[in-house]
């Protein structure tokens, strides 16, 4: 079966696998998030985790997860193995009854106004000095190499987010189906995708909403025997993304309002979210 052999700073952590079906992924995330109490930004939150499952209805298996700091190197090698390490946690999938309860609670929150827009949409005016950046300022970046060859340095500036996903879709059509709407799978079922992406927030505000630019450095396909090394670093510059998509503050605000109206309309007509 396809497995991920994961190490941190050359120290072996675990061998993760889910059999011949399902899907398996290692994810590294960086977030700068607003602290509304202190009006400051938390910009050093980097974490990683590996999880997978045999199909969409099976428990989600988690292996070791934890924080990363500047200078850390996370290595993921794609291997074939007859065995893998036991996960440290298994989470049962949500039951239909539980999901129905969540939907009811969600709609009630929208109707009462308690449910607010996503937390990454905040008023930039509450955080003076946190959106400007000097050209010489060093920011969190992800240096990614495959088989010893540098492929990309991804960075999102002072305020935003970065994500690296190393993902194997497995052989189960039900797992592939969860992503079929986002993109066509480009290769065979032993292929693994390495995908760096992120977003950066800007100073534009419109009634408390801030614009967001989504960043995509492109997908790379690797296979059995390939090794990915991700290094958390600080740098003054990074590689430009292959593509960007900008959402203005007005667009985000209007999109949220349309979403709220749609959800509440479905509730009145007895539809499902």
pLDDT of residue 124: 47
Tens-place pLDDT, residues 96-121: 676 667 677 767 776 676 655 554 44
Angstrom distance (rounded) from CA 99 to CA 95: 6
As to burial, measured by CB atoms within 10 angstroms (0-12 exposed, 13-18 middle, 19+ buried), residue 55 is middle
Average pLDDT on 237-256 reads: 82
> For residue 194, what are the contacts with CB-CB under 8 A and spacing of at least 6?
144, 146, 151, 164, 165, 166, 219, 220, 221, 222, 228
Tens-place pLDDT, residues 229-246: 999 999 988 999 999 888
Specify whether the CB–CB gap between 51 and 77 falls below 8 A. Answer: no
Specify the residue for token string 């390495």.
Answer: 194
DSSP letters along 72-104, please? -EEEEEEEE-S--PPPSEEEPPPPHHHHHHHHH
Confidence bin at 250 (pLDDT 50/70/90): confident
pLDDT of residue 58: 77
Specify whether the CB–CB gap between 69 and 232 falls below 8 A. Answer: yes
Angstrom distance (rounded) from CA 5 to CA 265: 48
Tens-place pLDDT, residues 159-204: 778 999 999 987 655 444 444 333 344 444 668 899 999 887 765 5
DSSP letters along 131-177, please? S---TT--EEEEEEEETTEEEEEEE--SSEEEEEEEEE--S-HHHHH
The full set of domain ranges for the chain reads: 2-94+137-201+213-246
Confidence bin at 158 (pLDDT 50/70/90): confident
């Amino acid at each position: 079966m396809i497995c991920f052999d994961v190490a941190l700073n050359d120290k072996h952590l675990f061998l993760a696998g889910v059999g011949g079906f399902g899907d398996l992924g290692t994810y590294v995330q960086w977030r700068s998030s607003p602290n509304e109490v202190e009006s400051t930004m938390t910009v050093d939150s980097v974490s990683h985790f590996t999880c997978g499952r045999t199909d969409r209805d099976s428990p989600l298996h988690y292996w070791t997860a934890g924080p990363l700091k500047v200078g850390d190197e996370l290595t993921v090698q794609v291997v074939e193995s007859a065995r893998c390490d036991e996960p440290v946690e298994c989470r049962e999938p949500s039951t239909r009854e539980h999901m129905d309860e969540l939907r009811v609670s969600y709609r009630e929150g929208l109707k009462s106004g308690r449910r607010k827009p996503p937390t990454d949409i905040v008023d930039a005016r509450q955080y003076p000095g946190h959106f400007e950046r000097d050209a010489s300022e060093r920011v969190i970046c992800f240096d990614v190499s495959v088989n010893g060859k540098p492929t990309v340095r991804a960075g999102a500036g002072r305020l935003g987010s970065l994500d690296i996903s190393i993902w194997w879709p497995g052989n189960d059509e039900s797992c592939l189906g969860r992503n079929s709407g986002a993109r066509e799978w480009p290769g065979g079922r032993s292929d693994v995708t390495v995908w760096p992406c992120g977003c950066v927030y800007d100073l534009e505000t419109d009634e408390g909403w801030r614009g967001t630019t989504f960043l995509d450095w492109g997908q790379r396909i690797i296979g059995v025997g390939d090794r990915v090394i991700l290094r958390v670093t600080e740098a003054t510059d990074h590689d430009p993304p292959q593509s960007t998509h900008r959402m203005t503050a007005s667009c985000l605000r209007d999109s949220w309002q349309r979403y709220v109206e749609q959800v509440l309309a479905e509730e009145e007509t007895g539809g499902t979210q």
